[in-house]
Amino acid sequence: MPTYDYLCDACDHSFELFQSITAPVKRKCPECGKLKLRRLIGPGAAIVFKGSGFYTTDYRSESYRKAAAAEKTSQTGSGDSAKTNGKGKAEAKSKSAAASNTG
């Protein structure tokens, strides 16, 4: 729901009101009680992202996303040898030896 700015032409009281888009425009000023209240035209509806759940990489250009996808596929296409270290190779050898002994 958006926040609307209101201004009273009688007493110059201004305030913000959080209301539904379909809600009727308020006419009576809460300060002086006269029917001189009007809703001001704002700069437009801007989306404001607040909090830690939004990242600058969420809205990258199409060319950036294509390059990132190409890089990701080239990394996964190289196989598991790039991901294993000496320990991983030793574990793979011990697993294959254990499998051959149980047959």
Tokens matching residue 69 = 């996808």
pTM of the model: 0.42
Map out the domains of the chain as residue ranges.
Answer: 3-39
Tokens matching residue 47 = 């989306």
E strand segments, the chain: 3-8, 14-18, 37-39
Per-residue model confidence (pLDDT) at position 9: 95
Mean of the per-residue pLDDT values for the chain? 75
Rounded to an integer, what distance in angstroms lies between the CA atom of residue 27 and that of residue 9?
A: 11
Per-residue model confidence (pLDDT) at position 82: 47
User: What is the chain's pLDDT, residue by residue, as a tens digit (103 residues)?
Assistant: 788 899 999 999 999 998 888 999 999 999 999 999 999 987 666 666 666 666 666 666 788 888 888 888 888 765 554 444 545 555 555 555 555 555 5
Rounded to an integer, what distance in angstroms lies between the CA atom of residue 49 and that of residue 70?
A: 29
